[in-house]
Amino acid sequence: MSAIASTAARHADTELDRLLAELAAYRSCDPPRLSLPPRAFTSPELYELERTRVFGRSWMLVAHRDELASPGDYVSLTIAGEPVVVTRDEDGALHAMSPVCRHRLMPLVEPGHGRADDFTCPYHLWKYRLDGRLKGATFMKGNPDFDPAACRLPGFAVEEWQGLVYVNLDAGAPSLASRLAPAAEELAPFRMDEMVQVVTVEEEWRVNWKLTLENGYENYHVMGFHPETLDPFMPGRGDMELHPIDGGALWARMPFAATLPRGAVPLPREHRANATVMLTFPTGGLITFGDQITWLSFIPLSIDRTQVRGGVLMPPALLDGLDPQEVAEEQTAAATAVNEEDRIGLEAVQRAVGSRFAGRGHLSPKEPGVLLFYRALAEALVPEETPGRA
């Protein structure tokens, strides 16, 4: 290794060690009421660590079951650079797996969603079933070392919860449902399992994933980013009633400006007077607006690019007699307006984190959820027994 390369490597290690030491402080019972160091949003070394310690081990919200309603339906995406495809097979079971051909590494399907009877590699025409098993490999009988029965796409853990589909790149990950039991109890009156998705959201923001989550763990920004779209009926000056769940998840209530009238779902007054937010670390969440629910997931594509996936859910009774196209257009316009406000604001923050004058800001008492996010991040990245890098 050259002297220059060696010096650069030592600098990177020192920089990462410093970052992890600062993150470790959020694990204490009295964490600093400060925002993350600006370099946490730009450090390539930290992002590489996040890829393995956060996104390689966490349940990621990727879809609603309506996107995977019929046999052959699939959703294809990347999670921090790792290609993933989720399918519904002929027997109705969900599968999550790597869509990278086991022959010469060709992706079997591009990011997006659609329907397929099987996946055929466009390179050498190998075929795979919807559960990842090899269906056929052209001109391979002459290779005595090749065992078709042992060739299949690597699988990931997949779970459906309240109609939402989650994937964990760790195939042996503990179940998600038991962990989210407190949130399931809070959301039970909404009958989420009966709701249908009327709008699908797919966007790309030029922002580090952590900035999107900081934003999602507080309502303080509503009066700045959303003065006309959200603040009039869900004021940013209101307080969040937080209920933490293990592993960085939480459910919370945020007061509406006025109690909503009764709708298609007979909600108790507390759910008509407050929005309920449910967040799962690292990137998924939902918010209720009476008998409508919006879910969003912020999935990293790279250090400064994030895919936003989500949808708007409604009870079937609310759609009776309505034109589905008109409902979709109306809900798309509303969701797009709010998302665009967040995108513009957060992309501006991303541009500013590289300023030589950027520093750590003092958090407001209205941002307790942000500290919960920081703690979950620190617990994932920094082993408890060591304040620096493991």
Domain of residue 234, CATH code: 3.90.380.10
pLDDT at 389 over 60: no
Relative to beta strand 127-128, strand 134-136 is antiparallel
Cite the DSSP H helix spans in the chain: 3-24, 44-53, 181-187, 209-216, 222-225, 269-273, 316-319, 324-352, 368-381
Q: Which regions of the chain does DSSP assign to beta strands (E)?
A: 59-64, 73-79, 82-88, 94-97, 112-115, 119-120, 127-128, 134-136, 155-161, 164-168, 196-205, 241-244, 250-255, 274-280, 284-289, 292-302, 305-314
pTM of the full structure:
0.93
Range of the domain at 153: 59-160
Q: Average the pLDDT over 324-346 and give the result.
A: 95
Q: Average the pLDDT over 12-19 and give the result.
A: 83
Residue 385 pLDDT class (50, 70, 90 cuts): low
Say what the pLDDT of residue 247 is.
82
The tally of domains found in the chain comes to: 2
pLDDT at 298 over 80: yes
**Domain contains 234:** yes
Residue 306 shares a structural domain with residue 219: yes
Q: Average the pLDDT over 302-312 and give the result.
A: 97
Report the CATH number at residue 148. 2.102.10.10
Say what the pLDDT of residue 14 is.
85
**Domain contains 47:** no
d(CA 138, CA 143): 11
Residue 74 shares a structural domain with residue 130: yes
Q: CB neighbours of 246 closer than 8 A, spacing ≥ 6?
A: 179
Is the torsion defined by CA of 165, 169, 170, 172 positive or negative?
A: positive
pLDDT at 299 over 60: yes
**Domain contains 75:** yes
Say what the pLDDT of residue 248 is.
85
Q: Average the pLDDT over 225-234 and give the result.
A: 94
> Within 13 Å of residue 6, how many CA atoms lie on the same side as its CB?
3
